[in-house]
């Protein structure tokens, strides 16, 4: 019991830290060395749909619009995104990825794909179910315990 506890705890901590480190560094070395982690996150958030308003993206990223303005400024300057005003409501500004930006989005998607593949491959269907239900429990724990913080509304 107590053994399981510490093994599981250490695994979760290690994996979490690994992901943080990988995100921080995977860029620097590679072809996309002019992007920071936050910029990649922004690209991810923009990329989900074909075009989104600044407000929507800011909410997704949980940053203020002021912060997002600066982020998008940089992405535009570097050629990963473009902005244009809505014709119907000239207050709103849309942002969307350029080809170059979409490339980054797809690269990131591929990373996820590989990651999940590496887990799933080698698990039986039974084992797969157990893994999923365990992770659901973990998620449930967070939702219950930190409802106020996590509530998206």
Partner DNA sequence: ATAAAAATATTTGATTATCAAAATAAAGGA
Partner DNA sequence: TCCTTTATTTTGATAATCAAATATTTTTAT
Question: Which residues of the shown chain bind its own copies in the complex (CB under 8 A)?
Answer: 1, 4-5, 7-9, 11-16, 18-19, 21-22, 25-26, 29, 62, 112-120, 122-123, 127-128, 130-132, 134-143, 145-146, 148-150
Segments in the chain forming alpha helices (H): 2-29, 37-47, 54-61, 65-78, 99-120, 125-145, 147-150
Q: With respect to DNA, which residue has the nearer C-beta, 73 or 136?
A: 73
The C-alpha atoms of residue 7 and residue 1 are separated, in whole angstroms, by 10
Q: Does the footprint of DNA cover residue 78 (CB under 7 A)? A: no
Q: With respect to DNA, which residue has the nearer C-beta, 55 or 116?
A: 55
Rg (CA), the chain: 19
CB-CB contact of 103 with 31 (8 Å): no
The C-alpha atoms of residue 40 and residue 97 are separated, in whole angstroms, by 12
For tokens 């560094």, the residue is 25
Pick one of its own copies, DNA, none as the site partner of residue 38 (Cβ within 5 to 8 A by kind): DNA
**Minimum CB–partner distance for residue 12 and DNA (Å):** 21
Q: Does the footprint of DNA cover residue 92 (CB under 7 A)? A: yes
**Minimum CB–partner distance for residue 18 and DNA (Å):** 17
The C-alpha atoms of residue 116 and residue 94 are separated, in whole angstroms, by 32
Q: Does the footprint of DNA cover residue 46 (CB under 7 A)? A: no
Pick one of DNA, its own copies, none as the site partner of residue 7 (Cβ within 5 to 8 A by kind): its own copies
What residues are paired with 82 via a beta bridge?
96
Phi, psi at 124, each rounded to 5°: -75, 170
Q: With respect to DNA, which residue has the nearer C-beta, 83 or 100?
A: 83
Interacting residues toward DNA by CB under 7 A:
36-39, 53-56, 58, 62-74, 83, 88-94
């Amino acid at each position: 019991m107590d053994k399981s506890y510490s093994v599981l705890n250490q695994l979760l901590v290690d994996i979490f830290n690994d992901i943080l480190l990988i995100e921080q560094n995977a860029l620097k070395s590679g072809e996309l060395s002019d992007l920071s982690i936050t910029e990649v996150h922004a690209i991810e958030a923009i990329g989900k749909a074909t075009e989104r308003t600044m407000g929507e993206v800011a909410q997704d990223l949980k940053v203020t619009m002021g912060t997002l303005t600066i982020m998008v400024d940089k992405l535009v300057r570097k050629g990963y995104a473009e902005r244009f005003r809505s014709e119907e409501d000239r207050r709103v500004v849309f942002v969307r990825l350029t080809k170059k930006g979409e490339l980054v989005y797809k690269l990131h998607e591929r990373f996820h794909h590989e990651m999940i593949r590496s887990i799933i491959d080698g698990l039986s269907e039974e084992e797969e179910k157990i893994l999923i239900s365990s992770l659901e429990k973990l998620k449930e724990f967070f939702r219950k315990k930190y409802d106020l913080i996590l509530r998206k509304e």
